Structure 1
Amino acid sequence: MISRSIAFILLVWMLGFAWFALLLPQPAPIAPTDGVVVLTGGAHRIDRGLEILESGKSKKLLISGVDRDVKPPELEAQYPKSAQYFQCCIALGFQSVDTRSNALETAAWAKRNNMRTIRLVTHDWHMRRARFELDRALPSGVTVTNDAVPTQPSLRGLFKEYNKYWLRAVASLLGL
């Protein structure tokens, strides 16, 4: 009986991993939202957020998880084409250090700015856990659009992220 239970759990875990690895979230079409949030930590995420802001489909952008050593002028210098937006429309979030605190920082920003619709930009392999945390942090009534930046993740990276996702889900069920 115990061996069958373990085998069943292992089978469910393996099928879940196959789903997680083979059906990664995709980029979303550019459509209007109140704001865009970009979670730092990987290539092309900020570029995608700026693309949406420059399209005029969103008026505000939060870059969450900016390293405390980064100075706003340094970040502006990396994106000279978008420099005008750093003065009016881009908020830099220095408080978060992980996905969970990204979600809390985003929720506070959304509340301060009376946002009802948000576009979440992160890598395809990170989207499910980021969205899980954001859904827990945001008040009800805020609609989130997933906008995944495509990558070529390694099997090891996917394995690690899948396990983080499930560990976080179990922790939340336990109230942690």
Structure 2
Amino acid sequence: MILRLGAFLLLLFALGFALFTVTLGTPAPAGTPAADAIVVLTGGSGRIERGMAMLAAGKAPRMLIAGADPSVTKADLLRRLHGKGGRLIACCVDLGSESVDTRSNAEEAKRWLDRGGYKSVWLITSDWHMRRSAYEFRRHLGSRTRIVTDAVPTEPSLTTLFGEYSKYVLRRLAVWLDV
């Protein structure tokens, strides 16, 4: 009986992983209405660049880069972007350095969104990270905040996908078990 249950759970996990790998996050469709703010989660290439492009395109008037290293400054960001977007960085970008993981990214973003009175957010992260990120943001922001998911396309390794799927499943279980 225990062996069958274990085999069933393993099969369920494997099928879930297969589904996860073919349903990664996607970029927001063209024509998606603007939001009150943009939140970019650090940790992957192309995320900040995508956030700056959406800010420049008028998808929101303000942007938070959540999970930035505390030593990073706006001047560092400008150098990273090869001098592009200096005006937008100066006026409209906040660097959040309170968070260290996806859950604390959502908590940090909630505090920032609440301070600004924002009711909608454009969430930017990598395609493989979007499902867990959107889950955490929905948990912390609730239904009162509209979330537009905008995933940066990547070519993740099988190891990255397996690790992210495992984190997602474990986080869902932890919430379900209230631990």
Q: How many residues align?
A: 176
Cα distance in 2 for partners of 1:38, 1:51 equals 12
2: CA distance, partners of 1:175 / 1:76 = 42
Which residue pairs with 1:172 in the alignment? 175
Corresponding residue of 1:14:
14
Matched residue, 1:149: 152
1:42-121 alignment runs, 5 A limit = 42-79=44-81, 80-121=83-124
SS of residue matched to 2:90: helix
Return the alpha-carbon distance in structure 2 between the equivalents of residues 132 and 29 of structure 1: 20
TM-score by length of 1: 0.95
Report the alpha carbon displacement of residue 4 of structure 1 after superposing the two structures with TM. 2.3
Using the alignment, how far apart are the partners of 1:56 and 1:129 within structure 2?
26
Seq. identity, %: 47
Question: 2 CA distance for matches of 1:26 and 1:140?
Answer: 21
Q: Secondary structure at the match of 2:148?
A: strand
| 8 Å contact kept, 2:74–2:90 | no
Distance across 2 between alignment mates of 1:29 and 1:61:
19
Unaligned runs of 5+ in 2: none
Give runs of ≥4 in structure 1 deviating > 3 Å. Answer: none
Q: Any idea what the Cα deviations from partners look like across 1:39-73, whole Å, max 9, x if unmatched?
A: 00111000000001001121111100101121221
**CA contact under 8 A between 1:77 and 1:83: conserved in structure 2?**
no
The gaps in structure 1 that reach 5 residues or longer are: none
SS state at 2:109 partner = helix
The whole-number CA distance in structure 2 between the counterparts of 1:42 and 1:167 is 22
- Taking the aligned partners of 2:24 and 2:80, their CA distance within structure 1 comes to 29
**Partner Cα distance (1:102, 1:24) in 2:** 20
Does structure 1 residue 35 correspond to structure 2 residue 16?
no
What do residues 117-174 of structure 1 show as CA deviations (whole Å, max 9, x unaligned)?
Answer: 1111000111111111111111431011111101111111111111011111111122
AA in 1 matched with 2:26 = Q
Amino acid at match of 2:110: A
Tell me the amino acid that sits aligned with residue 175 of structure 1. Answer: D
How far apart, CA to CA, are the structure 2 residues paired with 1:26 and 1:76? 27
Q: Secondary structure at the match of 2:128?
A: coil
Of stretches 26-35 and 89-98 in structure 1, the one that deviates more from structure 2 is: 26-35
